[in-house]
Structure 1
Amino acid sequence: MTDTDDRQQIIEALARLAEALDTRDWGGLAAAFTPDATGYGRTGPDAIVANVRAHLGGCGPSQHLLGNHRVTVEGDSARSLTYARVLHQGAGERAGRFYECCGEYDDNWRRTDGGWRLCSRVFTVSLSLGDFDVLQPPVAGPDA
């Protein structure tokens, strides 16, 4: 496999991850991480997903737009730096509000039998607009 193939696979994995965030596909989100991964201030896929759900689970629609991918591959490890613009719409009593942030994902990857998986993720926000309070945990219920 060439570095170009690996680069494209990582960019596709980033797109699937953004889709999982926006569709609230928690299983897909967990599958993006290695068992010992760190991200969103937590360690391990279950804790990472729980933390993300505490912000997106009660939020309205969101859209994670990614670009300016810079990917460096070294054997079975890789690093990607990716710009992101993320728009979050409020839900319920916050339906008319929004929160938007722009920043950069700094991701470290590991090649596994199932493809490239994140072993660490840091998002640094460089610009934010709107009401951060649109990010809410899910409303209690059977699927929360």
Structure 2
Amino acid sequence: MDDRAALIERLAEIAAAIDGRDWETIAGAFTPDAHGYGKDGGPDAIVAQMRAHLDGVGATQHLLGNHRVEVDGDRARTLTYARVHHVGAGPMAGSFYECMGEYDDRWVRHGDAWLLSRRSFEIRIGLGDFAVLRGAD
């Protein structure tokens, strides 16, 4: 598999891990000094930030597309459109929040694997109730 295909596959694995709340897989996708979702401090801080927004949410689905991939040796950048649907749970049952935007990811090759060193998501369209995004009760 070439680097472009490997990075796109990695993006799909991470999206599936988010939807499955597989925090161990998500933590393993980041370098030890990674910055993501507005947090410095590596995988533990990034996963804590994600859980603060997703542990109290019902099902989610991350749909990815329009991949643009730039590879420079052992470093890469991917820009990926995403449409993410969040189903409300608990006090937010019956509500939803859907956002469309773009992931801007920076990658570093570690052996045969690509790891995220930096991740951001710019929301361009938001529909529904943002309060659906919440931590566990």
* TM-score, length-scaled by structure 1: 0.92
After TM superposition, give the deviation of residue 93 of structure 1 in Å: 2.1
* Cα distance between partner residues in 1 of 2:14 and 2:122: 17
* Cα distance between partner residues in 2 of 1:46 and 1:113: 22
Q: What is aligned with 2:99?
A: 101
Q: 1:12 aligned to 9, 14, 32, which one?
A: 9
After TM superposition, give the deviation of residue 65 of structure 1 in Å: 0.4
Matches within 5 A, 1:1-144: 5-43=2-40, 44-139=42-137
After TM superposition, give the deviation of residue 55 of structure 1 in Å: 0.4
Matched AA of 2:82:
A
State the secondary structure of the residue aligned to 1:11: helix
After TM superposition, give the deviation of residue 97 of structure 1 in Å: 0.1
1:115-137 C-alpha deviation (Å, 9 max, x unpaired): 00000011001000000111110
Gaps of 5+ in 1: 140-144
Report sequence identity in percent: 61
Matched AA of 2:2:
D
Gaps of 5+ in 2: none
After TM superposition, give the deviation of residue 113 of structure 1 in Å: 2.0
* Cα distance between partner residues in 2 of 1:33 and 1:122: 13
* Cα distance between partner residues in 2 of 1:138 and 1:88: 14
After TM superposition, give the deviation of residue 34 of structure 1 in Å: 0.5
After TM superposition, give the deviation of residue 86 of structure 1 in Å: 0.3
Matched residue count? 136
Matched AA of 1:87:
H
